[in-house]
Amino acid sequence: MSDKHATLRRSITLVMTLAALSGATFLGTYHLGQFTVAAAYCIAIVGLNIVVGTAGQVSLAQGAFFAIGAYAIAIFRIRYGVPFPLGLLAAGLVTSVVGFVAGLPALRLRGHYLAIVTLGLAVAVLPIANRWSSLTGGGAGLNLGQVSVPAGVAMSPEQYLYIWAMVLAAAAIVIAWRVVRSPLGIAMSAVRDNEIAAMGMGVDLRWIKTGAFAASAFFGGVGGGVFALSVGFVAPENFLPTLSLLLLVGIIIGGSGFVPGSILGALFVQFVPDYAAALNKHLAGVFFGAAIILFIRFMPEGPLKALPALFGTRHWLFFKRRGT
């Protein structure tokens, strides 16, 4: 691993650590909740970047994984009293199993056919959550309450969860980045670029594709768990099929295959709709759509890669190779 990449990883960790500490100190309860949800989206977008940006598989199921993770941690906490750090891990593992199964169609389908199949999973979550009331609470949902702060920690529950969320988001970025640049990530990129050539080099498409979906689902489940802890309540209306599209917008805005860009994608998804509604609530969708179009038109690889080109400069941060 080059010194440049190690420096950037340390820089991201440092920036997010400073953001966590300063945010916990100066932000009010409402804004802490907003940034905690943004961190949840960031974790889910990191996972989506693995399966879409690195492995090249079309997935519209990330919203479903997000929902499964949210319900999983709610059930673990309410029924079994599992501490939330262990609950997040358990939610990620449960969701990764679902992701592995969801990745099986990728062995035979690709392109828009695979997109439709994964979208079907996102659409199916809503009626399942509504009807399986003995497990999910149905339309009434599940109430998690606030996160408990350990004795001796002088923080509010919102501050405590915010710091946890920022740490998890930074860890997700670093872990995903290492995976993307590992031999496994190189194999995923080979499958994305040319499946036949990858098979000729000995890459096992079955494990690469299903593994990419499982990894994506794990991060999606952890992100969903953080979201559930932040809002303190999970219900079917929190996880409409459009959530999968929003998360996909996140990787487009941040740069497909560029893992650190997940931060910008999450901030865009969390805050731009609110700002658009503040301008004009009747035209919020128009403003949001226009913002997406402008980003795709002028910054198709994300702002972190596009800005140096706009200013005629180059920096070691902006790699040529995809998947970095």
At 250-288, the pLDDT tens digits run 998 888 878 888 888 999 999 988 888 888 888 888 888
Q: Which residues contact 242 (CB under 8 A, 6 or more apart)?
A: 63
pLDDT the model gives residue 23: 65
Residue 317 pLDDT exceeds 50: no
Please report the pLDDT score of residue 79 as a whole number.
Answer: 87
Tens digits of per-residue pLDDT, 81-119?
888 889 999 999 999 999 999 888 877 877 788 888 888
> How far is the C-alpha of 168 from the C-alpha of 43, rounded, in Å?
8
Instruction: Quote the crossing angle between the two packed helices 62-80 and 111-131, to the nearest 10°.
Output: 30
Distance CA(49)–CA(304), nearest Å, equals 15
d(CA 108, CA 163): 42
For residue 320, the model assigns a pLDDT of 44
Instruction: Name the token pair of 60.
Output: 């519209």
Model confidence pLDDT, tens digit, residues 195-235: 888 888 888 788 888 889 999 999 999 999 999 999 989 99
- Measure the CA–CA gap between 242 and 219, rounded to whole angstroms: 19
- List the one residue out of 84, 81, 17 whose CA is nearest residue 225: 84
- The single-letter code of the amino acid at 126 is L
CA-closest candidate to residue 40, choices 149, 166, 163, 129: 166
Cβ count within 10 A of residue 319: 15
pLDDT for the residue 17: 66
Between 181 and 214, the more confident residue is 214
Residues 257 and 143: beta-carbon distance below 8 Å: no
Q: Which two tokens mark 189?
A: 């990129």
Structure confidence at residue 315 (pLDDT): 46
How much is the pLDDT for 2?
53
pLDDT at 153: 78
Residue 204 structure tokens: 């096992």
pTM: 0.87
E strands present in the chain:
142-143, 233-234
User: DSSP character for 236?
Assistant: G
Q: Residues 117-142: pLDDT tens digits?
A: 888 888 998 899 989 888 888 888 89
Task: Report the sign of the C-alpha dihedral through residues 268, 273, 277, 279, in that order.
Answer: positive
Q: What is the mean pLDDT of residues 292-318?
A: 65
Quick one: how far is CA 162 from the chain centroid?
Answer: 16
Span 135-169, pLDDT tens digits: 888 888 898 888 888 887 778 888 889 989 998 99
Angle at 235 between CA 233 and CA 238, to 5 degrees: 95
